[in-house]
A and B are shown apart, each in its own frame.
Chain A
């Protein structure tokens, strides 16, 4: 009797350990079921374990004291969302990796056998190397362009907006209330071969200069790499602008005034005070722009030509049209890992505090 009480008391004071452990075990069970680490009878056992863990924590919460309940509460609140992500975010990544290393036993088979088929990866690189290159180069150029356009715009809104600040910020966001696809299709019409932009360039005599800069090609603006990069820049601009704006908005204008009082020129004050303080915004914006841009295929499809396809186009084509799941999964996995490692290197250089 007394031992029972002391045990329950011990569990009570360590309830946070129990709660965290239960959540992790439950998540692991769901990943195992979703990613098919187990099958048949074993999967029923895993399901049973999952239920037992959940019921166990519930019993502990009901029987334990208020202290145990307080320690268990955060895990109870987290659990529904976390388990959802375990089953529909973690398990899929695992099954993606599995299929990327699988082969079809025969041409007409629907099932895939896991065979450590690394040739899927070498095939992906061999056949789609240019697409990988396009994805990273286009996304990088677009990211730089969004900084060049977004930073001054955010600066003007944050420091010179005055009482119109919120309205100006609203105006930046409003265009993005229309559908992503419709915006991109609208650009394809605007840049079209006999559209008003091309005709205007023609009239002003800019075509030669733009062709020399490789922005236009044979008198065309649409279906060029520049159009794809322009589309990416446009569509992801708010992801750059808003974080920069947030970090600029936080800056105490007294600091800038103090720099001026100390005989610092406006440029110097900007370089020494404003710019360093806004770097976290640029950092967050870079991630939020580069990552979706590198995986995009809509811009390349509507604004590019067959020679400007990005890795997203290839994944989409191999997965949904050719039903070549192993190679498509291998490409997805490579994209995921290369972006993850880029993000890691980037955070090592710039720090992570303001990421979330």
Chain B
């Protein structure tokens, strides 16, 4: 009796989880499905008929394509700078014990615990009162770096937490210069963490709307273009480009996972015989 009840509970929980996943995917099905729709009128919201037309001409909407290109440029520049700044912070925090590290840790979390609308509006008040830069590409890049730095620093720090810094000493004991040590030992080992963090930063930049909205001036990024268009006209190309971004991201994610699994498998198969030979010699 008891067992059947717990079994039922088990199934209920699994079904709930399945429904949860379904809920997460509902709008995604919708977005992908409507990229194959042939809309009537300005709004791509009612199903009319199936067509490949939109996918044949994904870049037909000039303003949308242009906005996407602007977004990619902004993301590239801001990710590059924020990855460098954030990784340096992460290395400092995990490699050294130093005065004031607790305060730095707390300070890094602050931008993440501040609502985006506060970050965006306060940065806009900074730019309002000066004559050096106009609102536009530069201000958006500055804004993005501002929130990316914390993300990169915390992600990289988490990924290199177990890093054995005595390896550097070993390399230098063997006569390597500090620069050579960094290029040959440190960088290859912390690079996966840095790459993961930069991918995250890139995604955050591409998708940011609220902070960008306050600091964009006349420049229109992809989210801003969608926001502006939503009231007037929703072309199916929005769905096509969104689906494309989705599929590319999934491909990146999958290749990362598969590479990780392969590495793991290679590691375990290589590690086993080695361990055996060690015990034998001992």
Q: CB within 8 Å of B: which residues of A?
A: 16-17, 19-20, 34-36, 71, 73-75, 77-78, 80-82, 84-85, 88-89, 91-93, 95-96, 98-99, 149-150, 152-153, 155-157, 160, 166-168, 170-175, 177-183, 185-187, 189-190, 192, 234, 237, 266, 287-288, 291-292, 294-298, 302, 312, 315-316, 319-320, 325, 328-329, 332-333, 335-336, 339-340, 343, 355-356
Contact = CB atoms under 8 A, between A and B. Distances in A.
The 6 A-B pairs at the shortest CB distance, nearest first, are namely A295-B115, A77-B92, A96-B122, A177-B249, A81-B85, A156-B17
B91 A77 contact: yes
B234 A320 contact: no
Contacts of A237: 24
Given A156-B13, A266-B6, A332-B122, A292 B115 contact: yes
B88 A78 contact: yes
Nearest to B100: A20
Contacts of A319: 121, 124, 214
Contact of A316 (B16, B20, B115, B117): B117
B197 interface: no
Given A92-B125, A95-B125, A319-B214, A85 B107 contact: yes
A interface SS class: helix
Interface string B206-235: 110110011000000011001100100010
A178 B245 contact: yes
A302 B230 contact: yes
B14 A156 contact: yes
B226 A82 contact: no
Nearest to A70: B96
Contacts of A99: 125, 128
Contacts of A36: 129
A74 B30 contact: no
A177 B245 contact: yes
A167 B260 CA distance: 13
Interface in B77-120: 84-86, 88-89, 91-93, 95-96, 98-101, 104-105, 107-119
Contact of A178 (B28, B93, B116): B28
Interface of B: 6, 9, 13-14, 16-17, 20-21, 23-28, 30-31, 34, 45, 84-86, 88-89, 91-93, 95-96, 98-101, 104-105, 107-119, 121-126, 128-129, 142-143, 145-146, 149-150, 153-154, 203, 206-207, 209-210, 213-214, 222-223, 226-227, 230, 234, 238-239, 242-243, 245-246, 249-250, 253-254, 257
B226 A179 contact: yes
B210 to A, nearest CB: 7
Given A295-B115, A329-B121, A175 B128 contact: no
A177 B145 CA distance: 20
Contacts of B114: 291, 336, 339
Nearest to A185: B230
A328 B272 CA distance: 64
Contacts of A335: 115, 117-118
A234 B101 CA distance: 36
B27 A175 contact: yes
Nearest to A36: B129
A181 B154 CA distance: 26
A75 B253 contact: no
Contacts of B27: 175, 178, 183, 186-187, 190, 234
A91 to B, nearest CB: 6
A37 B124 CA distance: 17
Nearest to B105: A356
B126 A182 contact: no
